[in-house]
């Protein structure tokens, strides 16, 4: 399974996450036809299904992963629009309920989406509350504070994502102008900084997205109705391919041109086996080596085309 196919699976699911600390292990939570939430773990060769996460979720539930070195949590919304959390216990091979303290019966808006992220200060969960205000709940150890209002106001039923970069919490969201923005803050104190635009306005409705960063800056992968788009630091929109069912269909010769793919701050050249570290080194040392790699990749593509025509 190539990187774009794995990314597509993550974006199509109720929740998807890449654990870079464990060899880019992928966790994908799916809602089945009987409204049960199940997890499938990509081991590098196949998807292995874990025990049932929950059976009390509402139809079309939003969900979000919270991953840390020794933590593996999933947030979801139940049939009464109450925020719920489960944690995987590897020894018991089962998912156990996680208490949210005084916020045990926290109502979220029926059209809310979820995002979450571990920081050194605790676990942050973002959502629209029952009144439509955008808030975050912070779980520090076993204690949860009152949900706090967040300056960012993503439109209802639009995706958002939380990550840590440069020891700051970053909240990425689609704004009213259909462009990707983010706001950041120190984990334990300080105010949210002013919004920063990551991409220009997109023409298509964004169903989901995932953000990564390399030496050049942020890049975002967008799932629209039937396409996968990439917008990098240059803000140029690149159409990577189409989505048919749960499959990624590369655009044009993208199955060959997967020569230089940066995904989740790493890169793979499937044909030439050029690994991420070489690409990063090329970026640090200058454009010359990167251009040489691209030229070689194009040469491989031309050779393949020639062999096909023969």
Contact (CB, 8 A) for 64 and 75? yes
Residue 14 DSSP SS3: coil
Of 63, 62, 65, 69, the closest CA to residue 41 belongs to: 65
Question: What pLDDT is recorded for position 265?
Answer: 33
Question: What pLDDT is recorded for position 272?
Answer: 34
Question: What pLDDT is recorded for position 289?
Answer: 54
Give pLDDT tens digits for 209-257: 999 988 888 999 999 988 999 998 888 899 999 999 888 999 875 544 4
The tokens for 42 are: 């990509």
Residue 51 DSSP SS3: coil
C-alpha–C-alpha distance, residues 102 and 83, integer Å: 12
In order along its 310 residues, the chain shows pLDDT tens digits of 567 888 898 999 999 987 766 555 678 888 887 788 998 888 777 788 888 999 998 988 999 998 887 788 999 999 999 999 999 998 999 999 998 877 778 999 999 999 999 988 889 999 999 999 999 999 887 778 889 899 998 999 999 999 999 889 999 999 998 999 999 998 777 789 999 999 888 999 999 999 998 888 899 999 998 899 999 888 889 999 999 988 899 987 554 444 334 333 333 333 333 333 443 454 455 555 556 656 666 665 565 555 444 4
Question: What pLDDT is recorded for position 89?
Answer: 92
Element (H, E) at 306: helix 287-309
Residue 201 DSSP SS3: coil
Give pLDDT tens digits for 108-129: 999 999 999 998 888 999 999 9
């Amino acid at each position: 399974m190539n990187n774009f196919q794995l990314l597509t699976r993550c974006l199509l699911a109720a929740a998807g996450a890449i654990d870079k600390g464990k060899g880019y292990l992928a966790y994908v939570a799916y809602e089945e036809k009987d409204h049960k939430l199940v997890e499938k773990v990509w081991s590098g060769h196949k998807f292995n299904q874990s025990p049932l996460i929950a059976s009390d979720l509402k139809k079309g539930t939003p969900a979000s992963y919270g991953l840390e070195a020794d933590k593996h949590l999933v947030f979801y919304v139940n049939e009464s629009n109450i925020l719920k959390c489960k944690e995987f216990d590897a020894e018991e091979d089962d998912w156990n309920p996680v208490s949210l303290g005084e916020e045990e019966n926290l109502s979220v808006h029926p059209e809310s989406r979820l995002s979450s992220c571990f920081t050194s200060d605790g676990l942050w969960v973002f959502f629209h509350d029952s009144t439509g205000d955008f808030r975050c709940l912070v779980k520090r150890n076993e204690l949860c504070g009152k949900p706090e209002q967040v300056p960012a106001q993503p439109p209802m039923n639009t995706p958002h994502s939380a990550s840590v970069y440069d020891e700051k919490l970053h909240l990425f969201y689609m704004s009213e102008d259909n462009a990707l923005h983010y706001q950041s803050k120190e984990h334990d104190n300080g105010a949210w900084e002013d919004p920063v635009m990551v991409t220009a306005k997109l023409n298509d409705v964004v169903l989901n997205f995932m953000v990564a960063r390399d030496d050049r800056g942020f890049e975002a992968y967008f799932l629209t109705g039937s396409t996968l788009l990439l917008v990098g630091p240059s803000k140029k929109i690149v159409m990577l391919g189409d989505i048919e069912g749960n499959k990624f269909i590369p655009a044009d010769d993208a199955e060959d041109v997967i020569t230089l793919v940066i995904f989740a701050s790493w890169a793979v050249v499937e044909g030439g086996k050029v690994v991420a570290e070489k690409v990063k080194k090329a970026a640090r040392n200058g454009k010359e080596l990167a251009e040489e790699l691209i030229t070689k990749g194009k040469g491989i593509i031309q050779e393949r085309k020639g062999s096909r025509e023969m």
